[in-house]
Structure 1
Amino acid sequence: MSNFPLSYKLSWLPRLLTPSLAGAPVDFGPMEQRWRQPAAVARLVFLGDISAVANREPPEIDPALRGVIAGADLVIANCESPVVERPVFPLATRLGTRHAMTPTFLDRVLAVAGIEPAQLVLSLANNHALDQGASGFDETLSVLKARGIRTIGTAADGLVRNVKAGPLTIGLLAFTQWRNAGKAEFAGRVTMADGIGGWRKNANAADLLCAVPHWDFEFRHFPQALTRALASKLARKGFGLIVGGHAHVIQPVEAIGRTLVAYGLGDFLGTVLPRQPWPLRLGAILSIEVSADEGTRGELAAYRVVPFARESHGRHERLLPIEAAKGRAAENARARLGVVFKG
């Protein structure tokens, strides 16, 4: 069935209860940086995982966070839950072992976040893509297409999908290292990490190549050595921006040559349990400026990591800028940011 190592499966619950700070790299980057001030830019905004597991109703989102999203030429996120009217596995879905969200839930999330469907690209390359079976995967594609939401990470999308972002063309490649279902079920549907090896930069005419991997181990703040090696490989293949997911906690950023790597943004909406340890309630929005000037076209101009806290409130969550959150959990979260990010 799944391809997770046994050692990983055995460590899943302990790490969920106490997310790990082990393995801190020595060269992780600050929460924001500017390299140039171009006259014309495209602005990309990345969110973490979107799921309904911890939310029976759409969240409340602070206006300051909506302001970060507003004006983005492109919003990219990971669709962690299949989008279906009725779950194929109702009991497992209710327990949260299989993910699902309804089309209405997704619509309302986008409305409260101020995201237009035509502005959004969702990755389906994740281990939960077939949580509602092949029929749920097909229904998800159909629901998103009907709303004008573009997808990446599926066989139908091709390895790299070119998407317009203001004056630029962004080439997006999404893939997953992990799957919850069998290899045969994922084959021909979801792009896996072992299926991207033959891709070459000269096969694409984008101004900027961006990889969106679903990788690494959950509940670890710092990436594994193999994850960093894969990031280096993608950088050598010409990807100027890499924004990962899967860990459910915030992970650091680092520069590999001229490539920016954000290893993980945590969850945009809770994807594990309705009641979660505080490190899992710390997420981030990543805002990227890409130059559209002659001579530096497609080069990164600046980035900013905007952390936020997800507070449980009945059947939904409240998303607040980390500086506005209160209580012991918020204090702990702010201290952890100082460990994960430099400066």
Structure 2
Amino acid sequence: MKKTGNWIKILVFLPALLFVMLIGWIGISEWKETKAEPSLAYETDNPSGEESQVETETEVLTVKQSEDETETKVPDKEPENPVVHLVFAGDILLSNYVTSAYDNAKGINGVLDTGFRTEISQSDIFMANQEFPFSDRGTAAPDKQFTFRLPPSRVSMMNEIGVDIVTIANNHTLDYGTDALLDTCTALDEAGIRYVGAGPNMERAKQLQTMAVKGKTIGFLAASRVYPDPGWVAGSQKPGMVSGYDPTILLEEIKKARPLCDYLVVYVHWGVERDEKPQQYQRALGKQIIDAGADAVIGSHPHVLQGFEYYKDKPICYSLGNYIFGSSIPKTALLRLDVDFNGGSTTLSLVPGTSKSGYTRTLTGEGEKQSFYQYIQGISFGVTVDEQGVLHHNN
């Protein structure tokens, strides 16, 4: 019985002994593994260790990548200038006086002085009335005192002047017939100059022309209320222009153009030659054009300057007179129209000048400039002109 008890004791304690031995063996194995492969904490705390250097280089690389990402990040787009600078002139005729002045000077500096050339170059868009066709074809219109025409090769002069867009709705566009008008359209297209108011058919003649400037869409339309023959009006398949005598088509096109433009300009050929005051119909039609949706109305044809008027806070310029013409021009000007889309305002100002023998120059003397501004104020309607040539609406 005593021996049996001893065996029982051995059987009871043997599993416990084996368990203790197993735990000890596992502990020794883990200690050996720890000695053979240092922990990350040990590696990081050991600046002289090889693997510690690798870890440091990895950290540096991560920082470098972060810096590179900062350096190559595309910067936010600069806010666009909200002010669009539009410049307008009256009649341009490249007469013999003008072409001779150009040829003698071997360039446009014989036609325009530095002041006007600089003003035009600083504009976003420069528009004028082209008072002639570019063509070598056609026959002069009968019973017409003055008929004008220039060879298409002279279109480069318009580029040198800096013209971006012209109205060709006037009483000289068809001086040499429809072939000459078609040649004019081709010459302007090839020169990259936009045109409005006339074309190969009514669809093109009435077509809105738009130009994108600083994220804004500027639109242009034109018509003429001066021409010698009803046959000068465009038809569905006939070259010609948009009529201002019956403004129905013009007003419809303005209404259609309104939602397509941020700013809409309508250029009209109207009035009586040499008359410094607009006709009553000009004032009525100008208001109709604005009521239809135009933001500004620019006029030409009288060959002299006429005054300005505001209607519903929108400007009407009745005539900018002759700008480059050849004959003596005692008073001329460029009209600056600065549209501030952020501020929601439009500022008009004048750059006065004069012209003789085909050469148009700015007025430089303070006295002559102030006299010019007072003159414009005197022929305008509810408008004052300050010493800088800025027009103000007297509400």
Q: Is the structural similarity TM-score above 0.5?
A: yes
- The answer for the alignment partner of 2:111 in structure 1 is 60
Instruction: Measure, in 2, the Cα distance between the counterparts of 1:303 and 1:242.
Output: 12
| Alpha-carbon spacing, 1:321–1:39, altered in 2? closer, same or farther (3 Å) | same
Deviations 1:137-193 (A, max 9, x none): 01000111111111111231434322223321112110000113x323423221111
Contact 1:82 1:136 (8 Å CA) reproduced = yes
Q: Does 1:80 align with 2:131?
A: yes
Aligned residues: 282
Contact 1:287 1:305 (8 Å CA) reproduced = yes
- The answer for the alignment partner of 2:183 in structure 1 is 139
- The answer for the alignment partner of 2:167 in structure 1 is 123
Q: Aligned match of 1:69 in 115, 120, 128? A: 120
| Alpha-carbon spacing, 1:319–1:55, altered in 2? closer, same or farther (3 Å) | same
Instruction: Measure, in 1, the Cα distance between the counterparts of 2:339 and 2:287.
Output: 21
More helix per residue: 2
Instruction: Measure, in 2, the Cα distance between the counterparts of 1:237 and 1:335.
Output: 32
Instruction: Answer with 1 or 2: which has the greater Rg.
Output: 2
What SS class does the counterpart of residue 213 from structure 1 fall into? strand
Q: Does 1:198 align with 2:255?
A: no
Q: Does 1:254 align with 2:319?
A: no
Query: TM-score normalized by structure 2?
Result: 0.64
Contact 1:322 1:334 (8 Å CA) reproduced = no
- The answer for the alignment partner of 2:90 in structure 1 is 48
Q: Does 1:107 align with 2:156?
A: yes
Letter in 2 for 1:216: G
Deviations 1:39-68 (A, max 9, x none): 521111111111123534234311111111
| Alpha-carbon spacing, 1:109–1:157, altered in 2? closer, same or farther (3 Å) | closer
Instruction: Measure, in 2, the Cα distance between the counterparts of 1:337 and 1:219.
Output: 15
Letter in 2 for 1:46: F
What SS class does the counterpart of residue 184 from structure 1 fall into? helix
What SS class does the counterpart of residue 254 from structure 1 fall into? strand
Letter in 1 for 2:291: R
Map 1:299-338 onto structure 2 (within 5 A): 299-312=344-357, 317-323=358-364, 336-337=375-376
Letter in 2 for 1:323: T
Instruction: Measure, in 2, the Cα distance between the counterparts of 1:258 and 1:216.
Output: 23
Letter in 2 for 1:47: A
In structure 1, runs of 5+ residues without a counterpart are 1-37
Instruction: Measure, in 1, the Cα distance between the counterparts of 2:303 and 2:222.
Output: 17
| Alpha-carbon spacing, 1:142–1:218, altered in 2? closer, same or farther (3 Å) | same
Quote the sequence identity (%): 23
| Alpha-carbon spacing, 1:140–1:39, altered in 2? closer, same or farther (3 Å) | closer
Instruction: Measure, in 2, the Cα distance between the counterparts of 1:339 and 1:88.
Output: 43
Instruction: Measure, in 2, the Cα distance between the counterparts of 1:39 and 1:176.
Output: 34
Instruction: Measure, in 2, the Cα distance between the counterparts of 1:241 and 1:214.
Output: 14
Q: Aligned match of 2:337 in 285, 288, 298? A: 288
- The answer for the alignment partner of 2:266 in structure 1 is 211
In structure 2, runs of 5+ residues without a counterpart are 1-79, 103-109, 386-395
